[in-house]
Amino acid sequence: MNLPSAFEEKMQGLLGEEMDAYLACYEEPRYYGLRVNTAKISVEEFRKICPFEITPIPWIENGFYYDGERLSPAKHPYYFAGLYYLQEPSAMTPASRLPIEPGDRVLDLCAAPGGKATELGAKLLDTGLLAANDISSSRAKGLLKNIEVFGIGNVLVLSEEPGKLVQYFPEYFDKILIDAPCSGEGMFRKDKKMVKAWDEHGPEYFCNIQKSIILQAAQMLRPGGMLLYSTCTFDGRENERVIGYLREHEPEFQILDIAPYEGFCQGIPEMLEEPDGELRRTVRIFPHKMQGEGHYLALLRKGDLSTARGQAASDRALAAGERTAAKAGKIPEPLAEFFRDITFGLDAARLDIRGERVYYMPKGLPDLRGVRFLRTGLLLGELKKNRFEPSQALAMYLKKEEYRHCINFPAEDERVLKYLKGETLDVEELASAKEKGWRLVCVDGYPLGFGKLSGGVLKNKYLPGWRLC
């Protein structure tokens, strides 16, 4: 592979005698990975039903390698059921090293296409809030789809400048992940187009963007909260120097240890004009030392943890209580009728009806007027002429046992693929001719979407934009 001479020279200075080993890795095939959605299925259960060969990624509890040259996991029904996400192995690391607790308010600031956001949302276990932002509205649409496929309901999907978000979320979040836009040096083997992009926009272009983003994120993090900064590049200007810049302007930020792995390398304090030994706590990932691509990670805490959490929690509970008490209202009858077949009750205070659309909102959201967003909360469906039509997002959010009317197919049933292609299904042997109404379509017990039953025929309601081509 032809690498830019300026890049090779820089890497020679960084790696020294390891340079030959680094260059040799370009002759090796790239690695493919999938990450299990532990909000839907345990790792143990997934391994039992996985239809293709996988090998554990040793530093990711729910990550596995697969042979991407031979296998196509994105075409299997389990992918459409949201049981896993396809992601480069090293790229799984940032979300795995940000400690998420149930009830946390979490922001993924540069979230598209959703690899890290989906993992953060899964770890929340339908509590707290996942705010996922991407400045590109087109990329944010793909982000939203991936979040909905994963069945994450406590969500806010945004497409805004980070600087504008500061106005709405001052010291709001418990955890923030910044997978910053970068020069992409760590992805040269995976994607050769990144080399050309580097020639056009290298580290000098991105480092100022990164410095701006991390300072803006710092303003949205509550005292005692954690911030994880990551890039897929090797240049110190985009990595250690950005962390140094943050600590220079926000000295209350402390660098924390990251859960270790034998292949991780320490950050390099000497990247700063005045070396900071604490930067050894940050992590560099090199492709010649691990079965993955290149990354950098830094985990930081804002100030002292001792009193900040209790104060933040009490303030939050008060604000949420005031807001929900003011909004409590009546559940529309068509919606209430549909939810009589669902085993969990709706909280009327969390409903937000806009025109025909019905949303189920996370608690404690600020006033978002003026913010560009694609989704607030879980889209339950639409109210149309005294009836309720459930959404694809609701189907993915539900578990089979939570809805009384399900049609379950084994993965090998040809009707599964027909359903994913949008075709009408004959289900005479699964339902009597007299049965009618909405049915949750599942594969091996995991929801795919809705259909409407009548006379032994299931009319397909799978979302057109999601269909298998």
129 sits in which H/E element: strand 129-133
Mean pLDDT of 148-153: 98
Domain residue ranges in the chain? 31-86, 404-466
Q: Which residues contact 238 (CB under 8 A, 6 or more apart)?
A: 180, 182, 183, 203, 206, 207, 210, 231, 296
DSSP 3-state of 452? strand
Residue tagged active-site, from 50, 110, 232, 442: 232
**Using N-to-C axis directions, what is the helix angle for 137-149 and 115-124, rounded to 10°?**
40
Place of tokens 């020679």: 12
Q: What angle do CA 362, 216, 255 make, to 5 degrees?
A: 95
CA pair distance 76, 198, nearest whole angstrom = 35
pLDDT digits (tens, 9 = 90+) for 36-82: 999 999 999 999 999 999 999 999 999 999 999 999 999 999 999 99
Q: What does each C-alpha distance from 226 to 32, 223, 376 come to in angstroms?
A: 29, 9, 24
State which fold the 31-86 domain adopts. Alpha-Beta Plaits (3.30.70)
Rounded to the nearest angstrom, the gap between the alpha carbon of residue 291 and the centroid of all alpha carbons in its chain is: 22
Based on the residue annotation, tell me whether 232 is a catalytic residue of this protein. Answer: yes
pLDDT digits (tens, 9 = 90+) for 410-419: 999 999 999 9
Report the predicted TM-score, pTM, of the whole model to 2 decimal places. Answer: 0.95
DSSP 3-state of 344? coil
- 176: amino acid identity, one letter: I
Using pLDDT thresholds of 50, 70 and 90, give the confidence band for residue 268.
very high
CATH architecture of 404-466: Roll (2.30)
CA pair distance 451, 435, nearest whole angstrom = 13
* Tokens linked to 145: 């789809």
* Tokens linked to 342: 């669902």
Residue 128: closest CA among 154, 147, 146, 150: 154
pLDDT value of position 82: 98
* Tokens linked to 78: 């389990």
Q: Is the pLDDT of residue 308 over 70?
A: no
Q: Which residues contact 387 (CB under 8 A, 6 or more apart)?
A: 334
CA pair distance 462, 439, nearest whole angstrom = 11
pLDDT value of position 330: 86
pLDDT value of position 311: 47
If you count them, how many residues does the chain have? 469
